Each structure stands twice: as C-alpha cells, then as structure tokens.
A and B are shown apart, each in its own frame.
Chain A
Amino acid sequence: MSVLEIRNVKKRYKNKVVLNNISLNIKGTYGLLGPNGAGKTTLMKIIATLLPLEEGTITFGDISWENDQRVKPLIGYLPQYFSAYKTMKVYEVLHHFAILKGITNKERRISELDAVLENVNLYEQRNEKIKYLSGGMIRRVGIAQALLGNPKIVIVDEPTAGLDIQERVRFRNLLRKISANRTIIISSHIVEDLETTCDYVAMMNKGTILLEGSRQEVLQIVDGLVWEKDVNSRDLEQIPESQIISVKEAGDRYIVRMLSQESIKEAKRVHPTLEDAYLYMMKGDNH
C-alpha cells in the first residue's frame, strides 16, 4: 500500500504560522495526536484538499496534491462536526453522497450502499430520518459517507467528539473494522481514540511534529520511565506536580502514575501507555 508522504508543509494564517515544516509518512491506521490548536485540523484539511497547499509537497504514490482534482477521488472525509439533512432518511443521504462521488451505476450503487450500511451497522436504520438518530449513529452515517466510493485515504477528524462512552467504544471498533486495505488518518486530542485504533501515531503541538512512529516506537520513548505508587493523601501532596501523569482513587488511598528518569522509592515500574508518551512529549515541549 502506498504511503502518504508529507514533506515540509507550511501554513500561515495572516502572520501566524499554523503548520511549521511538517513532514510525515502516513500509512495504515494513523493517529494524529495533539492538544486543541496544535494544527491537526488544518493539516487534515490540507490533506482533504479543503485548504490549498501553499508550501511543501504531499504525494500518494504518483499522485501529487498540486492537482487536487486527482486527489479528491482518493479521499473520504469526516469532519469534526457532522450532521446531515435532518428530514432526509439515512439511505437518501448516503444515496446522494454516492451519486456525488460518481457512483452512477445503479446496481453498483445499491450494492455499495448496502455494504456500507452493513459495515457501519446502520442497515436496520436505513429508512430512519436523520433527526431521529442518536449522536453515535449520525457519526456512523458520517463514516459511511466517507467510505462510499471505496477511497484509499479516509480522514476522520476528532471522531468521538460529543459521543458518550458507549458510543465512543463502538465508533473506535468501527474505525478498526474499516481500516483494512486503506489508509485511515484519525486526528484527536483524546488519547484513547488512537490507542485502540492506530498502528502509527504522530504527536503535534504548536504546529510542529514532536514525534512520529509506530505505536511501539512511540511507547519506547517512555519505556522504563513510568511508575505507579500507592500513597495516602499526605504523601500525595509531597509529589511534584511535574511528575504526575494521573491519580486514581483507591478507597482512602491514591494510586499515582508518575514519569521519572530515575527510580522512585516504593514505586513500581509499569508498562507505558500512549497517554504516558503523549504527556511526556507535551511536558517536554511545553518546558
């Protein structure tokens, strides 16, 4: 499968640099992690051809982003906020997208629509009006439209924004399911979204890439640096804020997860997660 190569992409809004010399190799299921305002959505929009590529290059195989008419057929895009015409039925909405995406052959269109509806588990709801769907279902309609035309690259911006926990889990599973044989780019500031779905991750902050690699490579950054300690409330106050990753209540005691280069007394070293790596990188970048 081809790699989406991003080289030295820059973007300015007026005088503010929003993306600074971004270079990435995007393949498989790819997560773009970063806080709000890191430049993720801008980068996604450039990849989705919604914003012009002003500086740098993007290629996918022999296709260059200089000619966006060649790029668009490759792309399936689900923006951060998605709704659809509320008085239309799920099938009607997807049918409209299918035609806009150039699936003009009726038989092919019907079979593809059925397949996509099955895939996102909305076949039963195909005749429901959008206004009667839950937030998670609407999100699934969004991913369904992105999958129509079988695009090679699917871009999903903040996939679980506004969803409850159950719907988040379901949607992450869906992303996992559809990732076969295509590149999926998921941008999020929610680490769990990427942890469970992505093979590759890049971390962004303030318009620059802090880190890129496979999930294992990313975790290696903090391998041996993550500690957990069982403390009471008085001891908790003694721990420097900068070391703490998370604090979990356990009865009248607390399990504190910490980052440290050196071993911590009475703490046990634990297996790192993506969140540990993300926080480690963010702290490093912010200091």
Chain B
Amino acid sequence: MKVFNSMNVMWILFRRNPLFWILLVCFLTYVYYGFHFYSTGYNFSPGEALVRMSFAVQGGMLAFLFFGVLLIRLEENNHLHDIFSSIPKGNFSKFIGKLLFFFILVLLICLFVFSIYVFLFLPKGISFLPFYYDAFLYIVLYWGISFFLSMLIGALLASWFKGKIIYPLILFVWALIGPANSYFFGTAASKPVFSDFLAWINLGEPNPYALFNDLYGFELSLYHWMKRLFMLLCISFLFLFTHFLRKRGNIEKRFYMYVAVCIGSIGALIYYFTLDRQIYISNSLLAGTRERVDETYYRALSHENSVPHQVIAITKYDVHMKIKRLVEIDTAITIVNNQKQPLDNISLSLYHGFKVIDVSSSHKKLSFQQKNDLLNIQLPSELPPKQSCQLSISYKGLSSPLFFANSRAVYLPYYFPWLPSSNVEPAFQYTKIGLIRNNHQWGNDAEITLTYDGPTPLYTNIKKVGSKKWHGRSSFGLSVVVGKIAEMNRKNDGTQFVQPMTWEKNMYQYPEFKERTSHIMETISRNFHIPYEGFPKLVVFVPILSINDFAVEEYIWFASDHLIYGTSLQYQATILPQDEANYTYMLVPALTWKYKGIPIKDMEYLHLFDSVYAYVYNQQHGIPDDGSFLPRMNPIKSEKDQIKSSIVQWIKKEGNVEMKNRFCQEWFQLIESGSQDWNELKKLVEQYIVIKEDL
C-alpha cells in the first residue's frame, strides 16, 4: 500500500504539471507523424518506421534522464527526505513507488507508441501478428527499457552530484547513450575504439544508420536484452554502493546479499559477452559491420587460388542442425568416388566460420585439416573408384554475416557452403567488381534428412516429415530460411511464395511475376537446351543483398526445386522491378550458367554474356530496354574492351534478332564447355561481326 500510494503521489505531481502534458503530447505527435511518414506512399516501410525514429528515442531518453534527477531531487527540494527517513521503510517505499510509477509510465508510453503503430499500419495491409509482436518487443527494448535505464542513470547521477552541475552532466550522458551518439561525437566517433564503445553503450537502435532488413526483422537478439540487463545490474550495484557509503556501520545483512547477487550476475554477464555470437551489425563505423567482414577476409585471400581437383559426389546428407548462440551441425554424409583413381583423402568446402570439431568414419576418428573454406579429410583407407564411404562431420561456429544464422533469422541457401560440399571453392571471391558469392550447388542428386532445432517457421526445399524433421532429394543443395517471412500465395497454384511479412502489399504483382518468370524460363530452356523441372515449388523473395547490389548475378538463385529471388534492402519492395527490362538481367544468369553450376573463372566475361543475352531477350520480346545495363566501353584500353565494345554496339543495333540469338546460343555453348576465354569469344564474334582493329 505504501508503495502504491507513493506511486500515486508521483502521478498526482506529474498530472498537475503542465510541462509533463506538453512533453507527452509533443512526443506522441512527433511519433505519430514519424510513423505516418513511413506508412504512406513511396516511403511505406513498417520496419523503417521504428528503426528510423532514433530522434524520438533520443528525445525520450533526455526527458527520462531529467525524470531521474527529479526522482532524487523531488524530496530533497521539498526537505522531505529526512522525514521519510524517520518513517519505517519510508524512503524505501518512496523509492520503489517512484520506480514503479516510472515503470508504468514507460509501459504506457510503449503501449501508446505501439497503438499508433498498429493504428497506422494495420489498415495498410500489414496483417501478420508475429510482426506486430516483434514491433512491440522492439518498442519495449529500444524505447521503453532505454527510457527506464535513462531515468535510473539520471537518478544515480543526481544522488552523486548536488547542485546545477548535474544538468551539463546529464546532457553529456544523454549524448553518449542515445542511438544518435555517433552523430553527436562527429569525427571522433569514427576512431575504431571509440566507435566500438559508442556502439556498445548505445541504448537505442543498434544500427541507426542502416536500412531495415525485412528478412532479419528487428534486431531483438538476446544479446541486446542482456546488454540492458547488464546496465541495469551495474546501476543497481552503484546504487547499493552509494547506499553503503552513506549508511556505513548501519547496514542490514540483506544488503550484502543483494550486493553478492548483483556482482555475481554482472560477472556472469561479462562472461556471456566474451562468448562468440552472431548479431546483426550494419554500421559503417564498425569493423564488424556485415558488409565488411567477408570482404576484408576474401580480399586477403584473393591470391590463394589453388583449388584441388577431384571428382566426388556426396549422395546422402543426414543433418542435425541446432541454432542457438552458435550454429551446431552434426552431419553424416555418403561420399562416392567418381574418378578413375582411388582416393585416400578428400577435400570439401565449408565456410571458415564453422569450425570442425570432429570427423569420423564408422566411429573411427579421422585426421583433418581446415584451412579457410577448405576441409581436407584423410580417409581411413583408400576409396576405390565407384565406391562410397560414410563420414560423420561435426562442426560449430558462426555463419557469414551475409548468410546469417542465429536465434532471430537464418539464411543458409543451397549456394553457400554451410554444409560440406564437394564443390570445392571458397564461399566468396573478391573480384574487380567487389565481393561475389560463389555457387556451391552440388551437381548431383542427393538424399537429405534434416533435423532442426532453432528459430521457426522454417522454409526449405525439402518436405517436412515430422516434428523438427524434413526429408527429400535435391541436386542443387539444401536451403534453409527463417526470419520475419511468411507464405503469402493463397491461390494454391502449386507454388509456395514466401516473402517478408512487411512486403505483403506487393502480392498483387505475383501473377505477373509468375507469368514473366515462366516465359523467360521457357525461352531460355528452348534457346540453350536447359531442361527445367517446371516452375519452382518454392519461391523465396527476400532482401539478401548488402554487397554488390549492382551486380545482376547476385539477385536470383534458381534451383530445380526452388528459386531464391533477392533484392537489396529497400523501403517497399515490389516483386517486379520498376524497370521491366531489369528483371530479365537478373534472371538470365540464374537460369543459365549459375543453374548449370558453371564455376566463375572470369566474372567480367560471364557478366557480358548475361547482359548481352538479357538485352537480346528484351529486344526479341518488345520489352523497352535503353541498354543502360550493358557495359560501357569508354575509353577502350585493351583487346578485351574492344571485343566487348563490338558486341555491345552490334547488339544495340536494331534488327537481326534471330542472328543475335544464335550468337548467344553459341556463346553459351562455349561457356558450357568450360571456356571463359576472351580469344575464343573473339573468334565467335568474328563469325558474326567484324572487330575493328583500331585500338
């Protein structure tokens, strides 16, 4: 009763203060118009609406820092502190009552903000409840808890510093702990140690300058909750310590118990923070930003080109995958020796973030060596041609930041070596146009069994056969996707169309998407004699690009049983790009050399093929294409440039579409034969056009 009455007194004091109402109304008005901006027109983005509201959070934190000062100074200013101290549990009841008041105030603010959010987005076609649940958690974590912690920090500082010095101090702390902290500290914020510190101490949105990732959803990892718990414990400890200094010699035994619990918990959390984990970091000021980690790694690796030659196939995967803090995988694989010589060791590709713990065969441990993305295993005995053997490989670790796998979201597609693959290449390669993803499709049919323990719901290209169990076959690989995505195609047309819950509005484009994709598939199948197994049963349309957004080869990954259609991070993703011609450019590489599993020897060469054929297709089908996706050749510095220039000039001329089509067919045959050689291309070109020799 004492606590509730103290809380009620705070409410009386606040409600009779006009400033409180002015602040509240201004805050909610700002929030309303902020959300409104992102709920209409081209700016429509339910995710951005929350992520982009750092200044509201920053403003709220300032108000609550001052409320914290008020919490301490209220009784001091009214000379009531001594009176409450003379009443049994008087000050304690007051303190807890005030904390409870601010807690409820914070909760009500969260509910108000959430209500505005729902009010603006629900009528706009965002209907998935799990998304709203996450939005509420986001508001609690990055608004509510931040406000409450700010209030506690303000109170702590006010209990240490008397007089007006508290106000500049509060402003400094505010600049330090808010989501816009790097903005306040200007160029100093770009210094590595300081930028890491600012990122850590930031109580608001952890990636305030990054676009919202609709696949990953809000960054609500346990780490961010623990970080705030850690701060809460530190503040509590400092309060207890202050109490100890003031009441020295008059401390109850219970006090020491609280201190012990506090210190123990702080210690446990410090240990927790030292553990490896994957969180979503997209902040150009930080070395650990997801856009840079693999780029740095593979740039350093770019000179190491030795890829072992072997002809093996993995025909069976039995995968037990657990995704908690780390990705833990136990997999049993069946390897077949498809070469003419016996094998005594094999090489598999596996992303270097996964550390192999154990390799065994028939319960016998095998020696292995893991270097970068290559895993070399010494077989127990020579494996004769056409014979198979079974291996068990256990590994755990962190996936690539570009192929995240944590308790929030999982994006492990077939073309990324998250499972040991006989397609031995690094996961990425660094080229002139930056970091590109290598294609690790298997190239042979394999039976797959997946047992999965991790975030759900899981979308994959094999069938669910039981609780947490999937089974099927694929000749491309296994894709596992989890996140803020949902199946949206309710027409039951044989295709499971999965995309972020926040993109629901774009479903009106789905029929056109399916029609255009089918048409391109048919044409390419006919032209290049590639037999597809019909329209894929699973289409995953997700924002997977944070790198090389201009490389059309990165957008679509087409496997016989599923299609991964990627897009860059953007506000309101439409299924089909606004520029109709662009879609062809994205689909051509996916349906041709990527589908055939042709390794990239010269990306420039393959890119030329992609763009030339896409242009020809558009020409052939009357799709407006100004050729802006074709390579620009000014100035011409090499013979390669000359070849490219000649092709582009010829292609752009009106007419002769059939001939151009034939040229592309022959060119693809060259590629299929393993050639990515410019001289051979030159010979082909010379059969169709005359290359000018005036370089």
Which of B1, B79, B87, B93 is within 8 Å of A83, CB to CB? B79
Bound-state CA distance A86–B16 (Å) is 10
Which of B5, B77, B82 is within 8 Å of A77, CB to CB? B82
B87 touches A85 (CB 8 A): no
Bound-state CA distance A179–B247 (Å) is 32
What bracket does the count of chain B residues touching chain A fall in?
20 to 34
Bound-state CA distance A104–B3 (Å) is 12
Bound-state CA distance A88–B93 (Å) is 19
B88 touches A85 (CB 8 A): no
Which of A54, A77, A82, A102 is within 8 Å of B88, CB to CB? A102
Q: Does B433 contact A (CB under 8 A)?
A: no
B86 touches A87 (CB 8 A): no
A48 touches B88 (CB 8 A): no
Q: Does B80 contact A (CB under 8 A)?
A: yes
Q: Does B84 contact A (CB under 8 A)?
A: yes
Q: Which residues of A contact B165 (CB under 8 A)?
A: none
A85 touches B90 (CB 8 A): no
Q: Which residues of A contact B77 (CB under 8 A)?
A: 83
CB distance from B76 to the nearest CB of A (A): 11
B79 touches A82 (CB 8 A): yes
Bound-state CA distance A75–B355 (Å) is 68
Q: What 0/1 readout, one digit per residue, does chain A (46-58) give for beta carbons within 8 Å of chain B?
A: 0011101010000
Which of A78, A83, A100, A146 is within 8 Å of B90, CB to CB? A100
Chain B minimum-CB-distance residue to A96: B9
Bound-state CA distance A88–B83 (Å) is 17
Known: A87-B13, A99-B1. A50 touches B6 (CB 8 A): no
Which of A73, A76, A99, A100 is within 8 Å of B84, CB to CB? A100
A72 touches B17 (CB 8 A): no
Known: A50-B86, A77-B86, A79-B83. A85 touches B13 (CB 8 A): yes
Q: Does B305 contact A (CB under 8 A)?
A: no
Q: Does A9 contact B (CB under 8 A)?
A: no
Q: Which residues of B contact A97 (CB under 8 A)?
A: 83, 87
Q: Which residues of B contact A133 (CB under 8 A)?
A: none
Which of A48, A49, A54, A100 is within 8 Å of B6, CB to CB? A100
- Residues in A26-76 with C-beta less than 8 Å from chain B: 45, 48-50, 52, 54, 68-69, 72-73, 75-76
A87 touches B17 (CB 8 A): yes
B9 touches A88 (CB 8 A): yes
A100 touches B86 (CB 8 A): no
CB distance from A82 to the nearest CB of B (A): 5
Bound-state CA distance A195–B1 (Å) is 42
Q: Does A22 contact B (CB under 8 A)?
A: no
Which of A52, A86, A95, A145 is within 8 Å of B83, CB to CB? A145
B247 touches A100 (CB 8 A): no
Q: Which residues of B contact A73 (CB under 8 A)?
A: 88
Q: Which residues of B contact A48 (CB under 8 A)?
A: 82, 85-86
Known: A81-B79, A100-B6, A100-B93. A88 touches B12 (CB 8 A): yes
Which of A54, A84, A88, A102 is within 8 Å of B249, CB to CB? A54
Q: Which residues of A contact B79 (CB under 8 A)?
A: 79, 81-83
Q: What 0/1 readout, one digit per residue, does chain B (61-78) give for beta carbons within 8 Å of chain A?
A: 000000000000010011
Interface residues of B (CB under 8 A from A): 1-2, 5-6, 9, 12-13, 16-17, 74, 77-80, 82-88, 90, 93-94, 247, 249-250
B78 touches A100 (CB 8 A): no
Q: Does A128 contact B (CB under 8 A)?
A: no
Chain A minimum-CB-distance residue to B88: A72
Bound-state CA distance A73–B82 (Å) is 15
Q: Does A92 contact B (CB under 8 A)?
A: yes
A49 touches B9 (CB 8 A): no
Q: Does A206 contact B (CB under 8 A)?
A: no
A100 touches B87 (CB 8 A): yes
Chain B minimum-CB-distance residue to A51: B250
B249 touches A79 (CB 8 A): no
CB distance from A86 to the nearest CB of B (A): 8
CB distance from A210 to the nearest CB of B (A): 27
Q: Which residues of A contact B6 (CB under 8 A)?
A: 96, 100
Bound-state CA distance A95–B17 (Å) is 20
B5 touches A45 (CB 8 A): no
B88 touches A87 (CB 8 A): no
B13 touches A45 (CB 8 A): no
A85 touches B86 (CB 8 A): no
Q: Which residues of A contact B2 (CB under 8 A)?
A: 99-100, 102
Q: Does A101 contact B (CB under 8 A)?
A: yes
Chain B minimum-CB-distance residue to A89: B12
Bound-state CA distance A95–B90 (Å) is 14
Bound-state CA distance A146–B80 (Å) is 12
Bound-state CA distance A283–B648 (Å) is 113
Bound-state CA distance A145–B84 (Å) is 11
Chain B minimum-CB-distance residue to A76: B86
Q: Which residues of A contact B250 (CB under 8 A)?
A: 52, 68
Chain A minimum-CB-distance residue to B251: A52
Q: Which residues of A contact B13 (CB under 8 A)?
A: 85, 87-88
Known: A88-B9, A96-B6, A145-B83. A52 touches B88 (CB 8 A): no
Bound-state CA distance A102–B1 (Å) is 9
A87 touches B16 (CB 8 A): yes
- Would you list the 9 A-B pairs with minimal beta carbon distance, nearest first? A77-B86, A52-B250, A87-B16, A81-B79, A99-B5, A72-B88, A83-B78, A48-B86, A79-B82
Chain A minimum-CB-distance residue to B15: A87
Bound-state CA distance A52–B6 (Å) is 26
Bound-state CA distance A116–B93 (Å) is 23
A50 touches B85 (CB 8 A): yes
Bound-state CA distance A99–B9 (Å) is 11
CB distance from A28 to the nearest CB of B (A): 21
CB distance from B243 to the nearest CB of A (A): 13
Bound-state CA distance A49–B87 (Å) is 9
Known: A85-B13, A87-B17, A100-B5. A45 touches B82 (CB 8 A): yes
Bound-state CA distance A45–B250 (Å) is 15
Chosen A-B contacts, 14 in total, with CB atoms closer than 8 Å, are A54-B249, A72-B88, A75-B86, A77-B83, A83-B78, A83-B79, A83-B80, A86-B78, A87-B12, A87-B13, A96-B9, A99-B2, A100-B2, A100-B6
Q: Which residues of B contact A54 (CB under 8 A)?
A: 249
B85 touches A49 (CB 8 A): yes
With A79-B83, A97-B87, A100-B2 already in contact, 4 other A-B pairs whose C-beta atoms are closer than 8 Å:
A50-B86, A76-B86, A83-B77, A85-B80
Q: Which residues of B contact A72 (CB under 8 A)?
A: 86-88, 90
B88 touches A96 (CB 8 A): no
Q: Which residues of A contact B94 (CB under 8 A)?
A: 100
Bound-state CA distance A76–B83 (Å) is 8
Question: B6, B9, B80, B84: which has the most chain A beta carbons within 10 Å?
Answer: B80
Chain A minimum-CB-distance residue to B249: A52
A84 touches B85 (CB 8 A): no
Bound-state CA distance A201–B634 (Å) is 105
Q: Which residues of B contact A81 (CB under 8 A)?
A: 79
Q: Which residues of A contact B78 (CB under 8 A)?
A: 83-86
B88 touches A69 (CB 8 A): yes
CB distance from B212 to the nearest CB of A (A): 43
Chain A minimum-CB-distance residue to B83: A77
Bound-state CA distance A50–B9 (Å) is 23
CB distance from B238 to the nearest CB of A (A): 22
CB distance from B575 to the nearest CB of A (A): 58
Question: A50, A75, A86, A99: which has the most chain B beta carbons within 10 Å?
Answer: A99
Chain A minimum-CB-distance residue to B252: A69
Bound-state CA distance A87–B16 (Å) is 7
CB distance from B100 to the nearest CB of A (A): 15
Bound-state CA distance A78–B87 (Å) is 12
Q: Which residues of B contact A100 (CB under 8 A)?
A: 2, 5-6, 84, 87, 90, 93-94
Q: Which residues of B contact A84 (CB under 8 A)?
A: 78, 80
CB distance from A97 to the nearest CB of B (A): 8
Bound-state CA distance A54–B247 (Å) is 12
Chain A minimum-CB-distance residue to B84: A100
Chain B minimum-CB-distance residue to A101: B87
Bound-state CA distance A81–B5 (Å) is 24
Chain A minimum-CB-distance residue to B85: A50
Chain A minimum-CB-distance residue to B4: A99
